[in-house]
Each structure stands twice: as structure tokens, then as C-alpha cells.
Amino acid sequence: MTHTPNPTILLASGSPRRRELLGLTGLRFAIAPADIDEAVRPGESAVAYTIRLSREKAAAALPAGRATGALVLAADTTVVDGETILGKPADADEARAMLVRLRGRAHQVYTALTLIDPVTGRSVTEVACTDVPMRRYTDAEIEAYIASGDPFDKAGGYAIQNTAFHPAEVRSGCVANVVGLPLCHLVRALRALGFEPPADVPRACQDFHRYDCDVTDAILAGRL
């Protein structure tokens, strides 16, 4: 397949973290946040929930993509502890309960991304999963973090990239997935639709996160 360089992306998200990560690709992009109902359906698994939301967000932004010809990109990130989906905490009590629950052990973070080419109607959905080992932060650290206001727009009540709280350190797997946009999966989706980002995305991602990723080759080869 012939790959077309540097397509324009319409990102169906207002997340500054996703904007920052998408900027590492060298792709031109615009923002069109999608407002959808993010309630979990009865009996819905974490993977099914995450995929559904990414597709619904992409569908919501598709009319704007058709108007501009830009590829539509949507993503949803879900924090999962066992079989329990941990959403964004509504208040300090929920944030505290989530952080206490996760402390000192590992959980999983899933991100599903959906990419649609409005010209051809073709779409690709990719799913990434990363194990996140949380450190044994103290109760006082939890309270200081809650007071900062950072937990309230984050699934699971934390941001892995917060340097003051530093809740966890990923030792294996995709760090960008935990932040909200698995970039090697995005490259794979772009290539499936016949496009190629102008930047060396794996290198840019690893340099940005100061992380020697052990799954890049497997993801790009379709093995993970």
C-alpha cells in the first residue's frame, strides 16, 4: 500500500494530554471535542466499554471531518482494577477512595482509539493495555494531591505524568497509553488507512517520556 505523508487530523478530544502526545507525531491537527454519554452499560466489560466510547466519539466528530476532509481521531482511556472500571472521581471522597484502593499494587489502563477516513469511509479501532504498578504513597501525599485539584478530570483519580505526586512508574509496556493516546497504535492505524506520520513517532515518544519502550517493535508488527 502506498502511504501518503502528513495527513490532517481532527482530534475528537479536549484533553491537553492527548494534544501534547499527538503533537509528537508531526501531524497537522485541529480540535473538535465530542460530548457523549460515558455511562457504563450493565454487564459491559472494560474493553468493550472503551472501544464503544472511542467509536461513539469518532462518530460524533465525523460530520466535521467530512466537512474538512480531515481524518477523525477519537480515544477513550479506562482505568481498571480487577473487573471494576474506575472513572473520573466526582469529589474528594471518591478520589481518596480510588487512590487508597490502587496504592501499592498494579492495575490496568486501556485506551481504545478509533481513526476514520471520511473520504473513503474506512475506519480502524486499536486497543492498548498497560500494567501500572502504583507506589506506596502516604495518606498525606493523597490529601496534598487531592488539594491540588488534579485528580478530578482523570480516570482512576490520578495522572501518571504528575511529577509532584508521581503515583507510579511503568516498567514495561506503553507509557503513552496510560497518558491517553498510544502512539504506536496510532501509527499502526494510520498505516492501515494508507497514511504515514512525518515524524519518527516511537523515537519521539520515548525521548519525550525518557523511557526505553520494550513493546514498540511488537506493536508496529501487529503482535501486541
- Closest among 202, 142, 145 to 175, alpha carbons compared: 202
**Phi, psi at residue 206, to the nearest 5°?**
-65, -40
Q: How far apart are CA 46 and CA 94, in angstroms?
A: 19
Cell of 19: 494534544
Over the stretch 27-69, which tens digit does the pLDDT of each residue have? 999 999 999 999 999 999 999 999 999 999 999 999 999 999 9
Over the stretch 35-45, which tens digit does the pLDDT of each residue have? 999 999 999 99
Residues 6+ apart with CB under 8 A from 140: none
Residue 187's domain spans which residues?
4-220
Q: How many CA atoms lie within 13 Å of 197's alpha carbon, on the beta-carbon side?
A: 23
Question: CATH code at 96?
Answer: 3.90.950.10
Bridging pattern class, strands 106-116 and 84-86: unpaired
Calculate Rg over the CA atoms of the chain: 17
Is the pLDDT at 2 greater than 60, yes or no? no
Structurally, the chain folds into a number of domains equal to: 1
Q: Annotated catalytic residue: which of 37, 76, 81, 150?
A: 76
* H helix runs in the chain, sequence order: 16-23, 46-68, 92-102, 139-148, 175-179, 183-192, 201-209, 216-220
Instruction: Say whether 76 is catalytic.
Output: yes
Over the stretch 142-163, which tens digit does the pLDDT of each residue have? 999 999 999 999 999 999 999 9
Cell of 44: 459491559
> Tell me, what's the pLDDT at 150?
96
Over the stretch 189-208, which tens digit does the pLDDT of each residue have? 999 999 999 999 999 999 99
pLDDT band of residue 5 (cuts 50, 70, 90) is low
Q: What pTM does this model have?
A: 0.94
